[in-house]
Chain A
């Protein structure tokens, strides 16, 4: 059964600090993995997409890593800003093109 687990469920950090969000998945056969950012009251916005052959991809202060062998991904946020407060959703995609959405990590950045 295709599943996605994200940890932690929620996280509070101080502005300027770094943090790492985790995603474990059991999607097979695997095609790619996406990370989305969802601000409160808004739709998800794509941060990165990585295929099974990519180990890392950056988008500004966001860096995603992927280990397709262990079926793990992480999203690292560097020098956090107040605007990073949001939910971050891990979404692996199967080769059938089906997307499996995680429940997200709720990040709060305080000044």
Chain B
């Protein structure tokens, strides 16, 4: 089954404790992206990757890091999480950036205390 898998689905942690949210896709997609979804706002892009070893900032990259060492994986790293990063996070993938539907994971709800 074609899917984008995120882990963990839920996480409560404290300010400053480094965390990583993993994302894996099994569709051999080149393009992967991370978004955050907050109440009253549309999804906002954090980082994206056009292919292995190619990453770029989205609209709200501050406080986040990513890496793309393998095609299937695109982890999101919060080196020093802060309460304003409490949000619902989605990973998505597609064959290319434009013109194709993105496949989304089921989200990771992060609470930073």
* A residues with CB within 8 A of B: 4, 31-32, 34, 41-46, 49, 51, 89, 93, 97, 99-104
Would you give 24 A-B contacts (Cβ < 8 Å), ordered by A? A4-B42, A31-B98, A31-B99, A32-B99, A34-B101, A41-B106, A43-B4, A43-B92, A43-B104, A43-B106, A43-B107, A44-B90, A44-B102, A46-B101, A46-B102, A49-B99, A89-B42, A97-B97, A97-B98, A99-B45, A100-B42, A101-B42, A103-B40, A104-B42
Of the listed residues B41, B43, B101, the one surrounded by the most CB atoms of chain A closer than 10 A to its CB is B43
**B104, A44: Cβ atoms under 8 Å?**
yes
Interface residues of B (CB under 8 A from A): 4, 35, 40-45, 90, 92, 97-107
Q: How many A-B residue pairs have CB under 8 A?
A: 47
Given the contacts A42-B107, A43-B90, A93 and B42 also touching, CB distance less than 8 Å: no
Chain A residues within 8 Å of B44, by CB: 101
**B97 touching A103, Cβ below 8 Å:** no
Chain A residues, Cβ within 8 Å of B41: 103
Closest residue of chain A to B6 (Cβ to Cβ) is: A43
Q: A43-B4, A43-B106 are in contact. Are A93 and B98 (CB under 8 A)?
A: yes
Extra contacts besides A43-B4, A46-B103, A97-B98 (9): CB < 8 Å: A43-B107, A44-B90, A46-B102, A49-B99, A89-B43, A97-B97, A99-B45, A101-B43, A103-B40
Residue of B whose beta carbon sits closest to that of A45: B104
Residues of chain B lying within 8 A (CB to CB) of residue A99: 45, 102
A101 to B59, CA, bound (A): 12
